[in-house]
Chains A and B, each alone.
Chain A
Amino acid sequence: MVSKTEETQLNSLENQVDNGGGGAWEYLCLVRKLKVRRSDKVFKYGLSILNDPKKRSALGPEEWTLYEQVAIAALDCQCLDVTKDCIKVLQKKFPESKRVGRLNGMLLEAKGSWAEAEKAYSSLLEDNSLDQVIHKRRVAMAKAQGNISEAIELLNKYLEIFMADHDAWRELADIYVSLQMYKQAAFCYEELILSQPTVPLYHLAYADVLYTLGGLENLQTAKKYYASTIDLTGGKNTRAPFGICLCTSAIAQVSKGRNREDKESPELQSLAATALEKDYKQRAADKLGLLTSALRSMKF
């Protein structure tokens, strides 16, 4: 995940380059380090550097990394000819290279020739069956073809070996949520929380999934996780107070007949509602009326 300082640095560099202030190479290096997806800008500025032979020779050995980066950005922007040229150059320099082989596979993927791409990836996997990136590309291919069940199967097999890869867990959670398999999604989010317990995003997503699952115990747990999100974000998150209000009213509805009083935090709902109103007043005053009517309907 990108930290706040890195994000501001990236944005300032981007502004600088956009307004013609130079520094394109630093921007490209930062994009590569942070692994963000700014393909159109990378493509534009990378290609301008590569087409200028003076600037290209100034890069030295980094030139090849730039070729790779521009090739992938060109794939994202659907400029397949540029990609083909870049791959040709790279292949001339590094024949028999696995990285270039991977780029070839990605090019086949972008063209839509799934079978050939699958063949390319399997041959690469034969050489090194533990190449994480190739495994993930196969999953992406299955997902792009719409074959979600196979994507799930491949991803599960991948996670059996590489179970500490939290990006993969995140992808799996997304897929499960899209298929409404909420119990499995909850498991994936638990894994994410375990590996990075202080990231509020996962608490929030987990709480959402628990709330959707329903049932008294899940609702109470969801409420706790919404509360932890508020705590971790310092109250700046807007969804979490909403979640708390919804959870409290849902719990009240479910336990209408029973006598269970939620003794833990009776004030939480009213506090959350007040915080929401204050936030809306500051940032979106015209929607305040909608908010108050919605909140009123939630409190019986």
Chain B
Amino acid sequence: MAEDLVLDTAIRDWVLIPLSVVMVLIGILRYFVSKLMLSSQVPDPKIVKEGQVIVRARNLRAAANFIPPKSFRSRRVYFSNEENGLLFVPKGQAQNPQAQMFSDPNMAMDMMKKNLSMIIPQTLTFAWVNFFFSGFVAAKIPFPLTQRFRSMLQNGIDLSSVDVSYVSSRSWYFLNLFGLRGLFSLILGEENATDDTQRMMQMSGFGFDPSKSLGAEKDGLDILQHEWALPKFEHRAEAMLKKLIR
């Protein structure tokens, strides 16, 4: 079955290239639309404070050996105190971030907007591709694949004897979807709204969960052993001075 199919160059001219061009143009359009719809989000003071607390606690953990033991201990108590420590989140209050997200109208609106701006163009383009560009072989993938990929890549092609390397235009669409990210970051600069894959990854881990990170920081602080590094410095200073004087 390893016959080489010769594909019409018209396929390349009228399918592959227009599809890529259309996707690039849609990406640029979305970028500008997202810039227009950018709503200045007023940051929530509690979240900002928690973010800063985490940074400070992390600094404490990282550089704990540079300050005297007494100061470290007092700071640790300040952070992980049972009653009013900064990092302490009582069990009952650990809010379900999803519920919080939906109860806050502003945040829900923002999530909706972001999701919509991603979903609608994708759906439309996919439907367009399926309608116009199905039922024929569009390209050949240069490396051999197993039979498992047949259902995914050869969707419109109803011949089961065609080699799996010959794929339909739907797979070209998916290839472009993920591959044009690099191109967009070149022409649009970083931080563009077309970063779909990142957004999809973010959707799975729903929202910023402050209570968990606070708890993690607290645990990290609790198990930290303080080893004062300063006495070592005295010896090093001696050695350095000796070298200087010589």
Contacts and interface: CB of A to CB of B under 8 A. Distances in A.
| Nearest 10 interchain pairs by C-beta | A227-B237, A228-B233, A164-B55, A224-B230, A197-B63, A271-B241, A230-B237, A227-B234, A164-B52, A197-B66
Given A164-B59, A272-B241, A265 B234 contact: yes
Main secondary structure of the interface of B (DSSP, over half): helix
12 contacts: A165-B52, A190-B67, A194-B59, A194-B63, A197-B63, A224-B230, A224-B231, A224-B234, A230-B240, A235-B243, A241-B241, A268-B237
A219 to B, nearest CB: 13
Interface residues of B, number: 32
A163 B245 contact: no
Contacts of A244: 237
A267 B45 contact: no
Contact of A268 (B49, B64, B67, B234): B234
B187 interface: no
A264 interface: yes
Interface in B41-68: 42-43, 45, 48-49, 52-53, 55-56, 59-60, 62-64, 66-68
Contacts of B68: 221
Given A193-B63, A195-B63, A264-B231, A235 B52 contact: no
Main secondary structure of the interface of A (DSSP, over half): helix
A244 B240 CA distance: 14
Interface residues of A, number: 38
Interface string A203-226: 000000000000000000101111
Contacts of B43: 130
B235 interface: yes
A18 interface: no
Contacts of A274: 241, 245
A231 B237 contact: yes
Nearest to A164: B55
B204 interface: no
B71 A190 contact: yes
A275 interface: yes
A275 to B, nearest CB: 5
Nearest to A233: B240
A235 B244 contact: yes
Given A130-B43, A194-B63, A228 B237 contact: yes
A128 interface: yes
A290 interface: no
Given A129-B45, A163-B52, 9 more contacts: A161-B49, A193-B63, A195-B63, A227-B236, A228-B66, A231-B240, A265-B234, A271-B241, A274-B241
